């Protein structure tokens, strides 16, 4: 993928955290207050699945297994969504659920733009599992069941934790205790983002 010139000045915050840590919930609150564009890799992939394309069917099977889909597909979906939102005036982006493995971060930053910060929602697996099983009663998500949740935790530990360590080494990680209520967590997020002066 050739570097994309239109995005070279974009302000990007990666949003990471285990499955059910509250990435999507907090991003909604951040968008309402700070006006950043929210792009969730999982939502983009689910939209592709919903389109009924052959690629969508392949993606669904991978998501059902709790593993990661191929880097090129995710990066392309995010790049296209950023270009569309950028053309509509967005200057800042919350990239939720990406990068989930080191190579995703490396490719994004070399082909699109370096990130300004990484927002990391930290919470125990017990709490995340409870949230996901509760959501699973109504969400219809193929991955909100006990077996897939276990696999999603493993994938997070093995592949995504090293990403967080990598960005900690660069001093870019904003770690938030995500075990409290949505309002409590957002209170911490606001303090951190205000200090960042976006
Ligand atoms: P993705 O959609 O990103 O799922 P995830 O990371 O497992 O996380 P969730 O979206 O389930 O949780 P969340 O952290 O957004 O929490 P939420 O706010 O919804 O990815 C799904 C799959 O797609 C992956 O497994 C993979 O296969 C594929 N994929 C995605 N990105 C990829 C990538 N970059 N590369 C390769 N493959 C990729 O909250 C969860 C629930 O908890 C909700 O019901 C909410 O109401 C509740 N809740 C939230 N906050 C609180 C709180 N503080 N207290 C109580 N309840 C709360
Ligand atoms: Mg989400």
Mean of pLDDT values over 62-87:
96
Q: What is the pLDDT of residues 18-59, one digit of tens each?
A: 999 999 999 999 999 999 999 999 999 999 999 999 999 999
Residue with tokens 């389109």: 51
> Does the beta carbon of 69 sit less than 6 angstroms from any atom of ligand 1?
yes
Does a structural domain hold residue 188? yes
Does the global pTM surpass 0.85? yes
> Does the beta carbon of 136 sit less than 6 angstroms from any atom of ligand 1?
no
What is residue 196's predicted lDDT score, i.e. its pLDDT? 87
Query: What are the Cα distances from residue 142, in Å, to 18, 69, 133, 153, 180?
Result: 17, 15, 12, 15, 26
Count: domains in the chain: 1
- Domain with residue 50: its CATH number is 3.40.50.300
Protein residue with least CA distance to atom 12, ligand 1? 20
Q: 109 CA to middle of ligand 1, Å?
A: 23
Does a structural domain hold residue 2? no
What is the span of the domain harbouring residue 90? 8-196
């Amino acid at each position: 993928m050739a570097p994309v010139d239109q995005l070279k000045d974009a302000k990007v915050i990666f949003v990471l955290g285990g499955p059910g840590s509250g990435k999507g919930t907090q991003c909604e609150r951040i968008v309402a207050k700070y006006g950043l564009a929210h792009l969730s890799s999982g939502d983009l992939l689910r939209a592709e699945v919903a389109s009924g394309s052959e690629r969508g069917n392949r993606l669904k099977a991978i998501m059902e297994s709790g593993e990661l889909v191929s880097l090129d597909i995710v990066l392309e979906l995010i790049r296209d969504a950023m270009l569309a939102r950028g053309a509509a005036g967005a200057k800042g982006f919350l990239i939720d659920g990406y990068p989930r493995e080191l190579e995703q971060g490396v490719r994004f930053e070399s082909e699109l733009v370096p990130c300004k910060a990484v927002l990391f929602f930290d919470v125990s697996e017990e709490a995340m599992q409870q949230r996901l099983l509760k959501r699973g009663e109504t969400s219809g998500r193929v991955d909100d069941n006990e077996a897939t949740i276990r696999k999603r935790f493993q994938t997070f530990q093995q592949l995504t934790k090293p990403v967080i360590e990598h960005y900690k080494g660069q001093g870019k990680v904003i770690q938030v205790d995500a075990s409290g209520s949505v309002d409590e967590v957002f209170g911490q997020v606001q303090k951190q983002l205000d200090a960042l002066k976006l």
